[in-house]
Amino acid sequence: MLDTVKLQSPEIGERLAAAIESRLVTRWAVDRETGQLLWEFTSGSLEGSYDHRIAVAVKRERWESVQLPGGRVSTLLRQSRPYLVVEGSVHKAMLGHNLQGGPLDPVASCRWFVDHIGAGLRVDLPAADDWLARRLDWAEVFALDYACCEAFIRGLAVADFPRRSPRRYGDQSVMVPGRTTSVKVYHKGPEFAVHDRPRLGKVLSSEAVARLQWRANELLRVEVEIKARKLDTDMDPPAVGRLSEEHITGLYDREVAKLLRESQRMREIVRTAEDVRRRLNECYTPAQASALFGSWMSFATLGEDWTRDQLPRSTFYDHRKKLIDAGCSWHGADVALVESGPLPAGFSLLRSSPWRVTGEDPKVSELLAPYRVA
C-alpha cells in the first residue's frame, strides 16, 4: 500500500504561488462530529516518515546541469519560475493513521492527494498526472503477535544488504538506508505508541485509541522508500500519470529479497535447524546437504559478513544461492546467538506471504473511486 509520497508540480504563476504562501503558516481541519484532526499543513519539513502533517513548499530555484570549461559537468542552483513540492502520508491523510488498509492505486492516490491539498488551501492546483514523483513509500504489514514481532526483529541481527550497512534499533526496527532506495522493517506497536497515540488521544475516545494500539501491537511493517534518483532512472520522467502498482511492488519485492535473501519463486520458508536439515536433504545429495547445513548454521549465528571471510569466495556465493533456492532462511532461526523465540512455520515478509494483511479500507476505496480510471 502507498504511504508517504513527495510530488513536484509543473510551473505555477506568481499569483497562485503568493496565494499559497499567504495561507501556509499552519492550516488544519477538524471533523466537527468526531473531533478528529483531518489534516494539517506545514510550510516546514516533516520530522520523519511517521509525521502526520503534509508539507507544502513554494520553490523558486532548481538544480540544473551545466557544462564547465574542460568538458566537466556540474550542477548549480538557479532561479526559476515558481513550482510546488508537497510531501506527506496519503494513508494518514485519509484515515488518520497508517496501520493497514491503505491505498493500492498509486495514480488515483496521488490525484486525490493533490486535490486534497488544493481544497485545504482553497486553490486550484495543476492536474496531478503532470506532477513528478520525487519519493514513493510502499509498505506491507504482516499479522504476528507481539512476541513474534520482536523475535523477528532480533533475528535480523545477522541481516546483510549488498553494499549497504543496516542500522539496528534493539527489538523494534532495522533500517537500511541507500541513495536510490531505503528499507525499513519495524514493529508497528512501539512506533504507534510514541508518534500516533498521543496525537489521536486528543481527538478520539480512549476506547478507539486502545483498539488501534492493540492492532498496532500485532503488526510487523516493512517499508521500501523509492527515491528520486531511482524514479528518474526507471521512468524518465516519473510523471504521476505513468506510475503503476506493478512497477512499485516489483521494486518492493526486489529490495526485501536483498535484505532477507528470499524470493517469490522459492519454496515455503523454513528456519528451524530440524526443518532446514530435512529440506536440504530433500534438495541435495547427503554431502552437499551437510556442507550447506554448516554454512546455514554460520549464517544464522555469526552472520554473512563473518561467514564470507571464512569461506572461499566461490563457495560462499554458491552455498548462499543454494540455501535461498531451497527456501532456508537464517533470519529468526532457532539457533541464533540472540534467542529469537517462536515464529510461525514458513513466515515470510514477501507479498506472497499468508501473514500479509491485504485490502483497502472501505473509506479509502470510497475516496479513491472518483480518481480511478476504468
The C-alpha cell that represents 359 in the structure block: 485490502
Residue-wise pLDDT tens digits, 92-103: 999 888 999 999
Residues belonging to the chain: 374
Of the listed ranges 25-29, 57-61, 73-77, 246-250, the one predicted with least confidence? 25-29
Q: What is the DSSP letter of 325?
A: H
Angle between helices 188-195 and 146-155 (to 10 degrees): 110
Answer whether the bond into residue 198 is a cis peptide, omega within 30°.
no
pLDDT at residue 44, rounded to an integer: 54
How far from 316 is each of 258, 271, 291, 292, 320, CA to CA, in Å? 16, 19, 11, 10, 6
Average pLDDT over residues 310-329: 86
Q: Which residues pair with 239 in a beta bridge?
A: 132
Domain locations in the chain as residue ranges: 2-63+75-264+353-371, 273-325
Residue-wise pLDDT tens digits, 183-228: 999 999 988 888 888 888 877 788 888 888 999 999 999 999 999 9
Of the listed ranges 47-56, 106-115, 135-144, 159-168, the one predicted with least confidence? 47-56
Residue 27 has pLDDT above 90, yes or no: no
pLDDT at residue 239, rounded to an integer: 95
Q: Are 252 and 224 in contact (CB under 8 A)?
A: yes
Q: How sure is the predictor about 51, in pLDDT bands with cuts at 50, 70 and 90? A: low
> pTM for the full model?
0.76
How far apart, in whole angstroms, are the C-alpha atoms of residue 328 and residue 322?
A: 9
Residue-wise pLDDT tens digits, 108-119: 999 999 999 998
pLDDT at residue 32, rounded to an integer: 43
The C-alpha cell that represents 54 in the structure block: 503534509
Instruction: Pick 26 or 324 by higher pLDDT.
Output: 324
Q: What is the DSSP letter of 125?
A: P
Continuous segment of H or E residues that includes residue 30: strand 26-30
